[in-house]
Chains A and B, each alone.
Chain A
């Protein structure tokens, strides 16, 4: 069975600095997708970034980028120039072709300090 592990329950970063959130996963599939979702205090789940496993190039969305290491089954999220509005829970998620649902990690609570 596929699993997603986020080993950092909580992290903090100073405003304007860079922070990296870790995620590892386990799968025997070759084609899959990985996601980072942000959940602010409003609890709305917001898609931050997506990575297709068949693409070697790391995905980037403005201040958010990933370091995708397929062989190591690692998928970390880097947030550059952190802003107060980045304070939220961040969830790593996996989607494989053999099932229709997303599999989530337990989340990392990120606090951005002024």
Chain B
């Protein structure tokens, strides 16, 4: 049973480009969470999605960031016009409808903005 998959594992973008990060939850999981980890920091919540719905985006920056979890396919975190401050590790986690509290994490995507 595959765990949470994230790709790419490493992504380099120049300032002003777009970054698209993908997350496939564990089989049977319909809840996806995105977290960001800045250097030397803990993980900070960004957004919580269920299939086709954004449940909580209180941790998302107001501009340039968006997330979706379509009916088919992975969840996408999209960052437009990236800046150096967006350089971080972005983690996706998933949970099932039963036991929301137990979240399983993917390996993360390390975004570097040059």
Which A residues fall within an 8 A CB radius of B?
A: 4, 33, 37, 42-47, 50, 91, 95, 99-107
A61 to B59 alpha-carbon distance, docked (Å): 32
Which B residues fall within an 8 A CB radius of A?
A: 31, 33, 35, 41-45, 48, 55-56, 59, 89, 91, 93, 100-105, 107-108, 110
Establish whether residues B107 and A44, one from each chain, have CB atoms under 8 Å apart when the complex forms: yes
Find chain A residues with CB under 8 A from B89 CB.
43
Nearest first, the 10 A-B pairs at minimum CB distance are: A104-B42, A45-B105, A101-B45, A95-B101, A100-B48, A33-B101, A104-B43, A106-B42, A44-B107, A107-B42
- A33-B101, A95-B101 are known contacts. Are A102 and B107 too (CB-CB below 8 A)? no
Query: Which residue of chain B is the closest to A9 with respect to CB atoms?
Result: B40
Query: Which residue of chain A is the closest to B45 with respect to CB atoms?
Result: A101
A97 to B56 alpha-carbon distance, docked (Å): 14
Establish whether residues B43 and A102, one from each chain, have CB atoms under 8 Å apart when the complex forms: yes
| Contacting residue for B42 out of A50, A91, A100, CB 8 A | A91
B111 CB → nearest A CB, Å: 13
A67 to B85 alpha-carbon distance, docked (Å): 38
Establish whether residues A103 and B107, one from each chain, have CB atoms under 8 Å apart when the complex forms: no
Establish whether residues A103 and B45, one from each chain, have CB atoms under 8 Å apart when the complex forms: yes
Find chain A residues with CB under 8 A from B105 CB.
37, 44-46
Establish whether residues A100 and B55, one from each chain, have CB atoms under 8 Å apart when the complex forms: yes
| 4 further A-B pairs in the complex, CB-CB below 8 A; given A4-B42, A102-B33, A103-B45 | A46-B105, A100-B33, A100-B48, A106-B42
